[in-house]
């Protein structure tokens, strides 16, 4: 048994999830593949969104996967970092916007 929760080699085994639930697994991968095709957004734009979300979700597998995917699409380091800042800004903004709730509560209880 592995002594760490995450093993980089496990990413390669992702497709094996279908072995324990074939129908749902296949439906998931079909959906997943479809999502990342060129559409109203280009596959390149989707890859950068995925990279940002990978960071906000703090998923090491996704970070590895979409960093490599970006490189394959010719995405530059600057573009990747800017995308991550978008994720970080939303994360911090989501924390701070709750400050209004705190202010509302203080004003109600002690205003």
Partner 1 sequence: MTKVKTQSLQKKGSDLAQSNRQLEILSNGIFQNGELPTFKAKISETSQFPLKAKKLEILQINVGYMCNQVCEHCHVDAGPDRKEIMTRDTMRQCLEVIKNSGAHTLDLTGGAPEMNPDFRWFVEEAAKVGIKDFIVRSNLTIIRANKKYYDLPEFFKKHNVHVVSSMPHWTRGKTDKQRGDGVFDKSIKALQELNAVGYGMPDSNSRLDLVYNPSGAFLPGDQMSMEKDFKKALMEDFGIQFHNLFAITNLPIARFLDYLIASENYEDYMYQLVDAYNPAAVKNVMCTNTLSISWDGYLFDCDFNQMLELPVNSKAKHISEFNEELLEGRNIVISQHCYGCTAGAGSSCQGVVA
Which residues contact partner 1 by CB under 8 A?
12, 42-44, 68, 71-74, 76-77
58: phi > 0 → left, psi -120 to 50 → alpha, else beta; which? left
Nearer of residues 72 and 104 to partner 1, judged by Cβ: 72
CB of 67 to partner 1, least distance (A): 9
Minimum CB separation of residue 58 from partner 1 in Å reads 22
Rounded least distance, CB 43 to partner 1, Å: 7
Distance CA 51, CA 67 (A): 7
Q: Which is nearer to partner 1, 11 or 91 (CB)?
A: 11
Rounded-to-integer distance, Cα 40 and Cα 48, Å: 15
* Nearer CB in complex with partner 1: 30/37: 37
DSSP 40: S
């Amino acid at each position: 048994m592995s002594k760490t929760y995450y093993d980089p080699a496990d990413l390669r085994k992702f497709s094996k999830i279908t072995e324990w639930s074939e129908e749902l697994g296949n439906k998931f991968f079909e959906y997943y593949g479809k999502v990342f095709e060129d559409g109203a957004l280009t596959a390149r734009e989707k890859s950068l969104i995925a990279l940002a979300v990978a960071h906000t979700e703090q998923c090491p597998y996704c970070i590895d996967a979409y960093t490599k995917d970006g490189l394959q699409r010719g995405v530059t380091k600057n573009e990747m970092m800017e995308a991550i800042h978008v994720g970080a800004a939303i994360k911090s903004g989501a924390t701070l916007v709750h400050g209004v709730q705190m202010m509302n509560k203080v004003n109600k209880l002690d205003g």
